[in-house]
């Protein structure tokens, strides 16, 4: 086989239609060897039969990861490299009830806190199950009960939060999962009665977590929402004023133990604070809003908005006749988070 000999290990100025046999060394510091084709960052790859081609350099065998947060409804399409999928679903929280507007000679009840949205967590799902794009529905938070603008009126009930879903029910192209919405808090009845908090939304599956219940507008300071572990938080109940009461504080939302810490808002005679937003294992979770307080001869204090995502709204504070009661806080919107690992 004819060969072209190199001079002291250096290539000639041109190298065309020549063969270099394996007895010759090429000086790798040469600047005269140039191979055209390919693009920046690509490397030459062989198919094992002597055929070379330009390919994109691999990631060294590292794990690929992608997290998509759906704060509103949309469509998820699986990445071609995905091997496992994690799905986290949180429903919308219920709205808090508004406070009663009654004579200052009787008990004036604050509204109850809305229940939080249920949640549903699934991990290590085989990505091959998802053969087509998947529809995502994100439940909206429920609206709070409207403030009472006429005398001798009971509070209004907050509305339900919306259900969040991954996939379409009855679909053949992907599994279907859902998290149940949170219930709205009952508006505070006058005349010494108490109002019960809205029930937390239950999970669609036993593998999920039910929502937590909102607090009631009980006698004295509003009660706290129910406690939850790794769930969204129920809203706090509003303060309930007895006859000739000067002021009462609203209730705090339910507690939630995330990352070995307990989070909740501070009780206040003012408007309820918005629920805190937390992160658990990279997943955003909202706590409930605080209940509104009561101060005699003043407009009732509003309940706090439920935290992002899925927290229940706080109950609105009561008021005396002649003053509008406090509106219930809206529930936090739900969310769907999809994590792909390859």
DSSP letters spanning 185-235: PPPPPSTT---PPPPPPPBSSTTSB---PPPP--BBSPPPPPPBSSS--PP
Specify if 144 maps to a domain: yes
pLDDT at 140 over 60: yes
Of 43-57, 63-77, 127-141, 195-209, least confident by mean pLDDT is 195-209
Average pLDDT value for the chain? 75
| 186/158: higher pLDDT | 158
pLDDT at 253 over 80: no
Specify if 44 maps to a domain: no
Specify if 29 maps to a domain: no
Host domain of residue 129: 63-342
pLDDT at 297 over 90: yes
Distance CA 332, CA 330 (A): 7
| Confidence band for 191, pLDDT divided at 50, 70 and 90 | very low
Of 76-80, 191-195, 305-309, least confident by mean pLDDT is 191-195
Specify if 287 maps to a domain: yes
Q: What's the pLDDT score for residue 122?
A: 81
pLDDT at 329 over 50: yes
Q: What's the pLDDT score for residue 194?
A: 43
Q: What's the pLDDT score for residue 314?
A: 87
pLDDT over 70 for what percent of the chain?
61
Residue 322 burial (CB < 10 Å; 0-12/13-18/19+)?
A: exposed
For the CA atoms of 207, 282, 198, 188, the dihedral, rounded to the nearest 10 degrees, stands at 170
Q: What's the pLDDT score for residue 168?
A: 73
Q: What's the pLDDT score for residue 148?
A: 93
Most confident of 3-7, 49-53, 91-95, 174-178: 91-95
| 86/29: higher pLDDT | 86
Specify if 91 maps to a domain: yes
Distance CA 276, CA 37 (A): 55
Q: What is the mean pLDDT of residues 21-29?
A: 54
Q: What's the pLDDT score for residue 235?
A: 74
| 72/207: higher pLDDT | 72
pLDDT over 90 for what percent of the chain?
23
CB 140, CB 76: distance < 8 Å: no
Specify if 25 maps to a domain: no
Specify if 34 maps to a domain: no
| 144/237: higher pLDDT | 144
pLDDT at 85 over 70: yes
Q: What's the pLDDT score for residue 280?
A: 75
| 144/170: higher pLDDT | 144
Specify if 5 maps to a domain: no
For the beta carbon of residue 220, count every other beta carbon within 10 angstroms: 14
CB 77, CB 133: distance < 8 Å: yes
Q: What's the pLDDT score for residue 272?
A: 92
- How many domains is the chain partitioned into structurally? 1
pLDDT in tens, 34-48: 667 676 656 666 766
């Amino acid at each position: 086989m004819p060969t072209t000999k190199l001079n002291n290990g250096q290539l000639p100025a041109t190298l065309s239609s020549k063969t270099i046999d394996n007895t010759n060394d090429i000086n790798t510091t040469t600047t005269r060897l140039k191979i055209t084709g390919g693009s920046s960052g690509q490397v030459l790859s062989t198919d094992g039969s002597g055929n070379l081609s330009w390919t994109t350099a691999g990631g060294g065998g590292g794990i690929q990861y992608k997290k998509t947060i759906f704060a509103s409804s949309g469509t998820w399409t699986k990445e071609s490299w995905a091997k496992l999928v994690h799905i986290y679903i949180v429903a919308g929280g219920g709205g808090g009830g508004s406070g009663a507007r009654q004579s200052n000679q009787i008990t004036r009840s604050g509204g109850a806190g809305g229940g939080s949205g249920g949640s549903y967590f699934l991990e290590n799902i085989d990505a091959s199950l998802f053969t087509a794009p998947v529809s995502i529905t994100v439940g909206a938070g429920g609206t709070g009960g409207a403030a009472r603008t006429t005398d001798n009126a009971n509070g209004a009930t907050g509305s339900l939060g919306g259900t969040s879903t991954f996939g379409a029910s009855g679909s053949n192209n992907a599994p279907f999962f859902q998290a149940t919405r949170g219930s709205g808090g009952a508006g505070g009845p006058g005349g010494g009665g108490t109002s019960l908090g809205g029930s937390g939304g239950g999970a669609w599956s036993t593998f999920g977590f039910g929502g937590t219940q909102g607090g009631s507008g009980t006698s004295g300071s509003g009660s706290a929402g129910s406690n939850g572990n790794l769930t969204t938080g129920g809203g706090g109940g509003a303060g309930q004023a007895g006859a000739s009461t000067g002021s009462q504080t609203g209730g705090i939302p339910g507690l939630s133990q995330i990352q070995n810490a307990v989070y909740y808002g501070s009780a206040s005679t003012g408007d309820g604070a918005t629920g805190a937003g937390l992160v658990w294992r990279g997943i955003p979770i909202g706590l409930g809003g605080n209940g509104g307080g009561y101060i005699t001869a003043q407009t009732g204090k509003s309940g706090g908005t439920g935290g992002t995502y899925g927290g229940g709204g706080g109950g609105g504070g009561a008021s005396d006749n002649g003053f509008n009661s406090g509106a219930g806080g809206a529930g936090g919107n739900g969310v769907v988070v999809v994590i792909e690992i390859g």
